[in-house]
Structures are given as C-alpha cells and as structure tokens.
Amino acid sequence: SLIFLVRDWSFPYEFSYGADGGAKFLEKRLKVSGNQHEELQNVRKHIHSCFTNISCFLLPHPGLKVATNPNFDGKLKEIDDEFIKNLKILIPWLLSPESLDIKEINGNKITCRGLVEYFKAYIKIYQGEELPHPKSMLQATAEANNLAAVATAKDTYNKKMEEICGGDKPFLAPNDLQTKHLQLKEESVKLFRGVKKMGGEEFSRRYLQQLESEIDELYIQYIKHNDSKNIFHAARTPATLFVVIFITYVIAGVTGFIGLDIIASLCNMIMGLTLITLCTWAYIRYSGEYRELGAVIDQVAAALWDQGSTNEI
C-alpha cells in the first residue's frame, strides 16, 4: 500500500481532514487529463499498477504555538486540538495489526534483499541537488524491481548448488556438476522471467544477461571448490614434482655415466630446486603461510601436468 500524508492541510472546506477527504483529494490529483505532460500521465497510469491500495490522509496544521515557538518541546497542551484529534485517528489507521500487510510492489512481496535494491536505486537519483523528475523515479523503481528479481534468482541458484556441492558435500564428478549447473541456471532464468517486473521485456533483457553472467561466475567458484575435494586433484602438485625429481635423477645418472657432466650437473640442479620447491609447498600446505607462493607452485605444477597429458594424447 502507498499512503500519502498531507500535513498542514488548509482547505477542509474543500476536502475534509482524515482518510475520507484524502481519498477524494487523491482521486482528483491522480486523474489523467490531456493537458498534462506525458511523463506525468505515465506516472498516474503506472502508479495504480504498482500498488494494491493507494490512499491519502489530510492532517491539519499543529498550531501557531508549535510553528512559532523556538522552545517547543512536544507538550500536548501547546498543540492544536484539531491536530491531536486527527493524529489519534491516523496512528491506529497506520499501525493497527490489521493494517500491517506485507509490502508489495507490482504484485511482488518485498523481501529485505529487494528492499536494499530499492534503497540503492533511490539513493542514486536523490544524490543531486535537484529533485528527480517523475520519469527518473519510475525508471529507478523499474531498475530496483529488476535487480531484486536478479538477486532472488541468483540466491535460489546459490542455495541449490550449496545443497549439491557445498562445503560438507563429497566430490562430484565434473560432468554431473555441469549438468546440475545448467539445470539450475535454467530454473533461475525461468524464475527471473516469471517475476512481475516493471519496464517491459526490452528493459529487463540486460538484467537477464547480468543474472546469467553472475551465475556463470558462481559456477566457476563451485568448480574450484569441488576440485579441491578431489584427492587426486589435491595430490597433483606433489605427484608432478616427484615425477620431475625422478626424471631428472635418472637423466643425471645416465648422462653422468656416459660422460656428459654438464647435462648431469644441470639435471642435478633442477632436481635440487624441485626438491626445495616440494618442501616449500609442503610447508605452505601445513602452515597456511605464503599462500600466494603456494598458488604459483600449484599453477606451475598444473601446467606441467597438462603439458604431459597433452603429449600422451
């Protein structure tokens, strides 16, 4: 619901104080006429489709003592009786349990995550020194509406992927992981498309692309997380380094036996460096320190592994 609260209403002879007078006043204000600007007409047309109920409450002026006394501290005796009378009507009207509904915009219930997206969108347009135009407000609402749909669909994908290959789940075959990813991605896209959104299909297209891009980024993270559970993947780096040590040891022995001392010395040096690298990698894994160096060693070992696999093929 959207409620317009008009304070200091000075024309009770035209529209009486309270909700009844406010309803008549709002009906007059939201009436579409041909002499209005196109943007103003669009706002009046769209506002009814965005909110289930639109109402208005006309509140009188609190009195001259409130307005002119710099030392006013909120004492009820200094506030005009007509204002207090209508305030006693307004507060229950706003805060009574039967009036507290789940907020909806464009037919969609607003979640905390969605509300954050609306805040972000409105903060952007209110950052300037001038008040935003109606078109800017409408566009910001449409943007927040689409971003909330993106966040909901992305969260759905994330939760279901956590159930499949989360932290406490065992290693999943890469092909099965990809199949689940494609299935859940399609479900998330359907969820996004099924949510009522403002701005039309063309406006929502770029947010659909954003959703697909963010889901693909999440999938890459899940691949890395899943690979870390594979015992053979975890053993790839030490296995590769052991193979290098073994090969250089054999070559050094053969070349030394036939008199190629330079090559033997070079192989011994490579073997020594590889052994030091293996010890360093083991220390990093054990202590958790120098993780950047450990990542470099893993990358080099992975490149050697992939190169060896390619040569075998």
Of 199, 227, 255, the one marking the end of a domain is: 227
State pLDDT tens for residues 162-189.
Answer: 888 877 777 788 888 899 999 999 999 9
Determine which helix (DSSP H) or strand (DSSP E) holds 181, and give its type and residue range. helix 174-194
The distance between the two most distant Cα atoms of the chain, rounded to a whole number of Å, is: 115
Is 111 within the bounds of a domain? no
State pLDDT tens for residues 43-86.
Answer: 777 777 767 788 899 999 998 888 888 888 888 888 889 999 99
CA distance 175 to 187: 19
State pLDDT tens for residues 234-278.
Answer: 667 777 878 888 888 888 888 877 777 788 888 888 888 888 888
CA distance 165 to 156: 14
Residue 131: partners with Cβ closer than 8 Å, 6 or more residues away: none
CA distance 124 to 122: 5
Of 77, 101, 125, the one marking the end of a domain is: 101
Determine which helix (DSSP H) or strand (DSSP E) holds 288, and give its type and residue range. none
Is 112 within the bounds of a domain? no
Is 39 within the bounds of a domain? yes
Is 118 within the bounds of a domain? no
CA distance 101 to 109: 10
Residues of the domain holding 185 = 134-227
Is 88 within the bounds of a domain? yes
Of 227, 258, 276, the one marking the end of a domain is: 227
> What predicted TM-score, i.e. pTM, was given to this entire model?
0.50
State pLDDT tens for residues 190-199.
Answer: 988 888 777 7
Same domain, 241 and 299: yes
